[in-house]
Chains A and B, each alone.
Chain A
Amino acid sequence: MAVAEQRTSPQASPEPETWYGIIQQTLKRNDIRLVPYVPDRVLTALIRNLHADPFFTTFPTAREEEAVGIASGAWMGGMKSAVLMQTSGFATLANVLASLVAPSQIPLIMFVSERGTLGEFNLGQSLVCRTMRPVLDSLAIEHHTCTRLDELEFICDRSIKQAVTTQAPVALILNPLLTGGKVFDK
Chain B
Amino acid sequence: MKPNRPVNLDLGTIALPLPAKASILHRVSGVALVVAVAVLLYLFDLSLSGEAGFARAGELLATTPAKLVIWGVLAALIYHCVAGVKHLLMDLGIGESLQGGITAARITFAVAAVLIVLAGVWVW
Say whether A and B bind each other: no
